[in-house]
Structure 1
Amino acid sequence: MVRHWKVGNLAKLTGLTVRTLRFYDQIGLFSPSGQTESGHRLYSESDLSRLQQIVSLKELGLSLEEIKSVLNDKQISPLEIVNLQMARIKEQIKLQQTLLEQLQHVSKSMQGKEPLAVEDFTELLQVMKKSHEKLVVERRTSWEHRLDVLGDFLAEEEGDSKTKEDSP
């Protein structure tokens, strides 16, 4: 039996907002495969697979336009997307593991009332900096993308307003 979800149910299921799903539909990134007789969007299991690919690529730092291009041109397979996401998570785990090990070393030294060497603090600070920098870069990229989308939207709205003013 084929399962379908309305936009609200899909939002709850995936943790995305209805607004996000509608926006994705509006820009042609993620459209429902069907509609109810009353016009409600209906998403299928294959739609859910595409949404997973979109979210994965977004987490990897691609813009929505880049994601749309990658998926429409079939430049990358769903398996490759999953593999890329796994590689990213492994990298994050490795970085966090390094930070944990360094913190454990400092904690052990402090518990033993041993004086900490300058190198202990500098190594800890370097690992913390790497972790922080990665987070900052990811957030900055996300914000830059959001500002670009907002700028495009405002430019479009301004263009629509001028067109209305110019018409008799």
Structure 2
Amino acid sequence: MKQYWKVGEIAGLTGLTIRTLRYYDQIGLFSPSDQTDSGHRLYTESDISRLHQILSLKELGLALEEIKSLLARNHCSPVEIVSLQIERLKERIQTQQRLLAELEHVSALMHLKEPLTVDDFTKVLVMMKKSHDKYFFERQMTVEQNLDRLGDFLAGRPDEP
């Protein structure tokens, strides 16, 4: 027997609002597979998989229209999207780990009451800027850049961190 979820249940599972899910349906991005006789939306496992793809691509900085277009052309599978998410997350983790190492170094010097040099502060500031810039850069990329990056990844050419 096929399992169905109502819109409120999907909202509860995903943390999205019912209003957002209805909007996604309205623009043709995420529509339910079925509905009850009284018109309530019913979602299936494959719908939830599609929602994961949508949210993953959104997290990568793509606009809803880009996501809709990309999924309509079947340019990427759920496996490819998860792989792309993993690559981007690894990049963010590496940047944060470098910042953490610099902060720990400065903290150790402070605890030892050692003098901090301009170089010590500069390294921390540079890592903070990289961390900050990378985050906002990914959020503000243009449509073309997002699609190019996704296309490169799917072609087996992920960009360097």
Instruction: With the length of structure 2 as denominator, give the TM-score of the two structures.
Output: 0.84
Q: How is 1:8-157 mapped onto 2 (pairs within 5 angstroms)?
A: 8-140=8-140
Q: Deviations over 1:57-103 (max 9, x none)?
A: 00011111110111110011111100000001101111110111000
**Number of equivalenced pairs:** 142
1:55 alignment partner AA: L
| Root mean square deviation of aligned Cα | 1.5
Instruction: Give the number of the structure whose residues are more often helix, by fraction.
Output: 1
Counterpart of 1:163? none
Relative contact order, higher structure (CA 8 A, sep 6+):
2
- Alignment gaps of 5+ in structure 2: 142-161
| Alignment CA distance shift 1:20-1:2 (3 Å) | same
* Preserved contact between residue 61 and residue 140 of structure 2 (Cα < 8 Å): no
Per mean C-alpha deviation after superposition, the further-off stretch among 130-139 and 35-44 is 130-139
- Alignment gaps of 5+ in structure 1: 142-168
- Using the aligned pairs only, state the percent identity: 65
- What is the Cα deviation at residue 117 of structure 1? 1.3
* Preserved contact between residue 61 and residue 139 of structure 2 (Cα < 8 Å): no
1:68 alignment partner AA: K
- What is the Cα deviation at residue 6 of structure 1? 0.6
SS at match of 2:135: helix
- State the 4+ residue runs in structure 1 displaced beyond 2 angstroms: 134-141
- What is the Cα deviation at residue 3 of structure 1? 1.6
